[in-house]
Structure 1
Amino acid sequence: MAEPAFEPALIIVDFQEDFCPPSGALAVPQGRSILTTLNTLLAYPFVLKIATKDWHPAGHISFASSHPGKEAFTSFATITNPQNPSEKYESRLWPDHCVQGSPGAELVKDLDLSKVDRIVEKGQMASVEMYSAFYPPLSSPRVGDSGLSALLKEKGVTDVYVVGLAADYCVAATAEDAVKEGFKVVIVEEGTRAVEPEKWGEKKKELEGKGVRVLGMKGKEVGRVMLNTKA
């Protein structure tokens, strides 16, 4: 019997200056420490290697500064589907971050971009929050699709390995949507950090319940990529 197809892709989510200490506007604890792991994975024979960027316009709806009287981290705003006002969700508010063209929106300079095949810019709609690299959590109709799913399918990808920042927000949302899109999905734990690390254990269980495997660099699923001869 023939072995199942294995065409792995790597998605590095939002490894940007604004998400990294010491000076990032929305720095994830120890966020910069994942650099070595990311560059190690970039040297592996994935069939496709993608880096994503939050790429927000000034005044983005996720910024607390866009909502008078509200505070970053503790306040929420209602996000409405611009094409269907009856579809809504609540989203946490953040400091201004990753504004298009700003230094904070740049990918961390020591990331080996020579091995990245494509950069996907997300979160460009001012009125919609978008954690996932695929699309916002709005579906009736879907708005803000980044085209990532179509790109992966065009390349014949079967398995998606997700790393980057932050584990409990954009990495988690990207992994969950990758499962919805029909891919087998792994989060490589050494390649991510959480905004709320004390809650990461709970979040991992939630992700695993949705079909996302959270594994280490020494796990067989990561080792399998090293043996991939199709890249």
Structure 2
Amino acid sequence: MTDPAFKPALLVVDMQEDFCPPNGSLAVAEGRDITPLINTLLALPSSTLPLKIATKDWHPPNHISFARNHGPQKQPFTDTTTITNPLNPTEQYTTRLWPAHCIQDTAGAALIPELDTTHLTHTITKGTDPRLEMYSAFYAPLANPRVSDSGLAALLRGAGTTHVYVVGLAADYCVRRTAEDAAREGFAAVVVEEATRAVEPAGWAACKAEMEAAGVRVVGWEGEEVRRLFRSGE
């Protein structure tokens, strides 16, 4: 039976070649292994999940998050850089530097072929501004004023979405920031734990606690929140 108070959407975050073994430049361990669960969610009927949205990092070659763009002395994973709001020089944040990844129109930026893209309703690109890091599929972490808004919040609201289910890569970066921004935007934000993987698995427990403190529910595949998806629309 359809529940009019439950209008979920699925966000499949960054299931791209560069984030997956064996050849990704920023491969997340076991990143490909979550695809069957994601495909199971994607196969749910449109009456259950009217919005099935994939996100893609879509970086220009000169993106600020690439260590190589800061000189040979800067190393990925260990070094950082400061990012300034291009519309407000007093607003800044520090971000980690990474290997070059998901460069526009390269094989590494493609969604992995195992992902069943036939059910996707939308694909959103992010990280397209070379000046800004953008883990979240909603916008960059700059608020005064907001910059690099992808339009995702408006898309979800336009469909009457109440719950946002977030899966994909990586749990401790883009999945986390996307889910936290979904909660910030007023949606019930749910991360399906078995359908994501972390860059740093050892820190996942602490990361999960911080997400939950920010209003995100991190749930199991066999839990009530996921079962609700399969029941809705029956």
| Structure-1-length-normalised TM-score | 0.97
1:227 CA drift (Å): 1.5
Q: Please report how far the alpha carbon of residue 47 of structure 1 lies from its aligned counterpart in structure 2 after TM superposition.
A: 2.0
SS where residue 37 of structure 2 aligns?
helix
Q: Which amino acid aligns with 2:20?
A: C
Match of 2:106 among 99, 102, 108: 102
Letter in structure 2 aligned against 1:110: E
- Could you say what secondary structure the match of 1:140 adopts? coil
SS at match of 1:94: coil
1:209 is the counterpart of 2:201: no
For the residues of structure 2 that align with 1:136 and 1:23, how far apart are their CA atoms?
28
Distance in 1 of aligned mates of 2:110 and 2:49: 24
Q: Post-superposition shift, 1:115?
A: 0.5
1:73-222 counterparts in 2 under 5 A? Answer: 73-222=77-226
Counterpart in 2 of 1:30? 30
Per-residue Cα deviation, 1:169-192 (whole angstroms, up to 9, x for no partner): 000000000000000011001110
Residue 141 of structure 1: how far off its partner (Å):
0.8
The answer to whether the aligner puts 1:56 opposite 2:53 as a matched pair is no
Deviations 1:134-166 (A, max 9, x none): 000001111100000000000000000000000
* Cα distance, 1:4 vs structure 2: 6.6
Q: Distance in 1 between matches of 2:25 and 2:62?
A: 15
Amino acid at match of 1:161: Y
Equivalent residue for 1:41? Answer: 41
For the residue of structure 2 that corresponds to 1:130, the secondary structure is coil
Q: Which amino acid aligns with 1:17?
A: E
**Counterparts of 1:227 and 1:172, CA distance in 2:** 26
> When the two structures are aligned, how many residues end up with a matched partner?
228
The reply to whether residue 16 of structure 1 matches residue 19 of structure 2 is: no
Contact map agreement 1:134 1:145 (CA 8 A) in 2: yes
The residue aligned with 1:67 is 70
| d(CA) in 1 for partners of 2:32, 2:43 | 19
Give distance in 1, aligned partners of 2:220 and 2:17. 25
Distance in 2, Cα, partners of 1:85 & 1:185? 32
8 Å Cα contact 1:47/1:157 also seen in 2: no
Q: What is the alpha-carbon distance in structure 1 between the residues aligned to residue 107 and residue 167 of structure 2?
A: 22
- Structure-2 separation of matches of 1:43 and 1:101: 27
Q: CA deviation at 1:217?
A: 1.0
Q: Where does the alignment leave 5 or more consecutive residues of structure 2 unmatched?
A: none
Cα RMSD, aligned residues only: 1.0
On the 8 A contact 1:9/1:49 being kept in 2, the answer is yes
Residue 70 of structure 1 and its aligned partner are, at CA, apart by 0.6
Identity of aligned residues (%): 58
SS in 1 for 2:172: helix
Q: Which runs of 5+ in 1 are unaligned?
A: none
Using the TM superposition, give the Cα deviation of residue 59 of structure 1 relative to its aligned residue in structure 2, in angstroms.
Answer: 1.0
The residue identity in structure 2 corresponding to 1:169 is: Y
